[in-house]
Amino acid sequence: MLLIHCPYCDDTLPELEFAYAGEAHIARPADPSALTDEEWRDFLFIRTNARGPHYERWRHIGCGRLFNALRDTVSDRFLTTYKAGEARRPLTNEAAE
């Protein structure tokens, strides 16, 4: 069972307290009606499906907040977590390995 750091609670807690919430940094378009069908399809369905470091969202069920995480999908390791709305964290050396 993973231990995950909630950036809001600033505490590292067992995976049981968290829920995965999809890929991160996919903003809802400000005006969906301006998008073509293809652009809207991409927003809805097309995902990175990364092998390796992956930006994704998690929800801490305990405090109810959604936050971002950089997790390696191969090792299942959390490389970092940060608050929603913060800029995409750069890949660290560890992540780039």
Partner 1 sequence: MSRYRISGKGRVDHAAPVSFTFDGKTYRGLRGDTVASALLANGVHLMGRSFKYHRPRGAVTAGSEEPNALIGTSRGPGRFEPNTRATVQELRAGLVTESQNKWPSLSFDLGAVNDRAYMLFSAGFYYKTFMWPKSFWDKVYEPVIRGAAGLGRSPTEPDPDHYASRYLHTDVLIVGAGPAGIAAALAAAQSGADVTLVDENPEMGGSLLSDPGVAIDGRPAWDWIDAQLGRLRAAGVRLMTRTTAIGYYHQNMVGLCQRLTDHLDSPPKGAPRERMWRVRASQVVLAQGALEKPLVFDGNDRPGVMLAGAAQTYLHKYGVRVGDAPAVVTSHDSAWYAAFDLADSGAKVAAIIDTRATVRPDLLDAARQRGIEVLAGHTVTTTTGRLRVKSLRAAAVRGGTVSGGRTIPCDCLLMCGGWTPSLHLFSHTKGSLAWDADGGTFLPDRKTEAVEIAGAGRGLWGYDPVLADGAAAGLRALQGLGRAGHPAAFRVANDRPGTGTSHTELPTDGNPGKARAFVDFQNDVTAKDIRLAVREGMRSIEHVKRYTTNGMATDQGKMSNINGLMIAADALGKQPPQVGLTTFRPPYTPTSFGAFCGYLRGETFQLTRKTPIDPWAEANGAVFEPVAQWRRAWYFPKAGEDMHTAVLRECKATRASLGIFDASTLGKIEVAGPDAVEFMNRMYTNPWTKLQPGRCRYGLLLGEDGFIRDDGVIGRLSPDLFHVTTTTGGAARVLTMMEDYLQTEWPDLDVWLTSTTEQWATVALNGPNVLAMLKPLVQDVDWDDFPHMSCAECTVAGLPARLFRLSFTGEIGFEVNVPARHGLTLWETLMEAGKPFDICPYGTETMHVLRAEKGYIIVGQDTDGTVTPQDAGLDWAIGKAKKDFVGKRSLSRPDIVAKGRKQLVGLLTEDGSLLQEGAQIVLDPDQPKPMRMVGHVTSSYPSTMGHPIAMAVIEGGFDRMGETVFIPMPDGVRRARITSTVFYDPDNARLKA
Interface residue list for partner 1 (CB under 8 A): 1-3, 21, 27-28, 31-33, 35, 37, 40-41, 44, 57, 59, 64-66, 75-77, 84-85
Considering the complex, state which of residue 50 and residue 72 has its C-beta at the smaller distance from partner 1: 72
Rounded least distance, CB 46 to partner 1, Å: 13
Burial code (b: 16+ CB inside 10 Å, e: under 16) for 40-65 equals: eeeeeeeeeeeeebbbbbbbbeeeee
* Start-to-end CA span in the chain (Å): 23
Please report how close the Cβ of residue 90 comes to partner 1 at its closest, in angstroms: 21
